[in-house]
Amino acid sequence: MNEPSDDVVLGVPDDDISARWERRAEIDLSAIRHNVRRVAELAAPAQVMAVVKANAYGHGMLPVARVALESGASWLGVAHVGEALELRAAGITAPVLAWLHTPETDFAAAIDANIDLGASGWELEQVAEAARAAEHPARVHLKIDTGLGRNGASAENWQSVLDTAAHFQDDGLLRVVGVWTHLAVADEPDRPETDEQLDAFRTAIEAAEAAGFDLELRHAANTPAALSRPDAHFDLVRLGLGMYGLSPFRDQTSEDLSLRPAMRLMARIANAKRVPADHGVSYGLTYRTEGTTTLALVPLGYADGVPRVSVEGPVEVAGTRYVSCGRVAMDQFVVDLGDVPADGVVGEPAVLFGDGGPSADEWAEAAGTINYEIVTRIGNRVARTYVEGSWGEAGD
Ligand SMILES: *Cc1c(COP(=O)(O)O)cnc(C)c1O
């Protein structure tokens, strides 16, 4: 459907195509729209929370948040209160949940800004105190640890957390509006632990209801559960990776899931030259050319989020697929183009991943990591450019 375009930038005026760029992460907002719509349809009647933590997994928090809210998401989710406050400072008024706190977290600012707070137990006293000062009750989503072993109250402590929360709620300091949990192995649908976690979650919900809380939202699903476990949808799914068009499953691609990767990472070739056989490449000289060949230099390195441990990371130049050779350095890495002339190579766009090129999944494979980490770690030296491709249009 979306044919790779000759244009460097899809769907933007010609003026901008000639705009000068050296490194860019193109973010296709139409892909994000498509992905949110797709998951919203799948999850309905459950709502969608667009998870925009970590600068929207490297895609840019504010543009992604706005597009997600236009496309069927009704909530935003972030890890830190600081991230939630950035959303509010930008004028975004949609419901926001922040869930990862420390005793230094500014709960008062969160309550003032009408940000919902995830809580495992220890936070409740501080939240209640902040609410007393703010003269405004906090909205709290109590988290139960059903097996992940990170945040959330243990099953043993759940009743006591409910009792504490009920006490503060009776004092008018907070309202428990949600109960939630997080899944550990939803990306491996065959594993039995998800069933066990969901059983424990249902038990925790019953206890919260028995404690008298009038719950608006029960939520458990991340992207893999949103896509593979309808029984985990409850009232809301927390959608991160899938919104960016990437697959959380080892054996399924974005395309298999009808998702559209939203980020395309590119840089212009910074140098190209012919070298003889047995020429070493990059620190440690871990790569040597086999024969006379053309080496091309890509001005992206580990400071920009290209993992130093990558081996044979894929790169597309002028429609041909190559791989990185030698070590990735802080600012650059080399591609062996083989027996092609070096003339005209400098300045050519090299596409590391994204529409019409290799995938973030392939870079994850090359670096022994997951696609989440590849997109999220793209650094600040890479300009994000927002484009409107053709995804999400009629017939899509
Ligand atoms: C990051 C995060 C998510 C989103 O997970 P994806 O797999 O990217 O959809 C959901 N819930 C919590 C608690 C998270 O920290």
In order of start, what are the domains of the chain with their CATH numbers?
Answer: 29-244 (3.20.20.10), 263-387 (2.40.37.10)
Q: What pLDDT score does 15 carry?
A: 42
**Separation of CA 40 and ligand 1 centre (Å):** 16
Across all residues in the chain, what is the average pLDDT? 94
Annotated binding site for substrate: which residue ranges?
A: 150, 330
DSSP state of 56: H
Measure the CA–CA gap between 68 and 36, rounded to whole angstroms: 6
Residue 313, classed as helix, strand or coil, is coil
Residues 236-292 pLDDT 10s = 999 999 999 999 999 999 999 999 999 999 999 999 999 999 999 999 999 999 999
Residues touching ligand 1 (Cβ under 6 Å) are: 51, 53, 99, 182, 222-223, 238-241, 248
- 320-325 vs 314-317, strand pairing mode: antiparallel
Whether 287 is catalytic is no
**Separation of CA 222 and ligand 1 centre (Å):** 5
Whether 53 is catalytic is yes
Confidence of residue 392 (pLDDT cuts 50, 70, 90): low
Q: CB-hemisphere CA count at 13 Å for 10?
A: 23
Q: Which ligand 1 atom is at minimum distance from the Cα of 243?
A: 9
- 174-180 vs 138-143, strand pairing mode: parallel
At 208, list the tokens.
Answer: 């919260």
Average pLDDT over residues 75-104: 98
Average pLDDT over residues 45-68: 98
Tokens 């632990």, located at residue: 193
Q: Higher confidence at residue 35 or residue 5? A: 35
Measure the CA–CA gap between 107 and 280, rounded to whole angstroms: 55
Q: Are 52 and 64 in contact (CB under 8 A)?
A: yes
**Separation of CA 224 and ligand 1 centre (Å):** 9
In single-letter form, the type of residue at position 196 comes to E
Confidence of residue 115 (pLDDT cuts 50, 70, 90): very high
Comparing CA positions, the residue from 396, 373, 375 lying closest to residue 384 is 375
Residues ≥6 apart with Cβ < 8 Å to 339: 291, 292, 293, 294
**Separation of CA 237 and ligand 1 centre (Å):** 9
Residues ≥6 apart with Cβ < 8 Å to 266: 23, 24, 25, 26, 349, 350, 351, 352, 354
At 330, list the tokens.
Answer: 């802080």
Q: CB-hemisphere CA count at 13 Å for 377?
A: 19
Q: Which ligand 1 atom is at minimum distance from the Cα of 224?
A: 7
Comparing CA positions, the residue from 185, 237, 218 lying closest to residue 77 is 237
H or E stretch covering 109: helix 107-112
Q: Which of 49, 183, 238 to mutate to test the pocket of ligand 1 (most atoms within 8 A of CB)?
A: 238
Residue 285, classed as helix, strand or coil, is helix
Measure the CA–CA gap between 323 and 352, rounded to whole angstroms: 9
For residue 393, pLDDT beyond 80: no
At 352, list the tokens.
Answer: 């590391």
Q: What is the dihedral of CA 113, 116, 122, 125, to 10 degrees?
A: 50
Q: What pLDDT score does 394 carry?
A: 41
Q: Which of 51, 117, 144, 247 to mutate to test the pocket of ligand 1 (most atoms within 8 A of CB)?
A: 51
Please identify which of the residues 57, 273, 283, 372 carries the catalytic annotation: 283
Confidence of residue 356 (pLDDT cuts 50, 70, 90): confident
Q: What pLDDT score does 390 carry?
A: 73
- Cross-strand bridge partners of residue 143: 180
For residue 14, pLDDT beyond 60: no
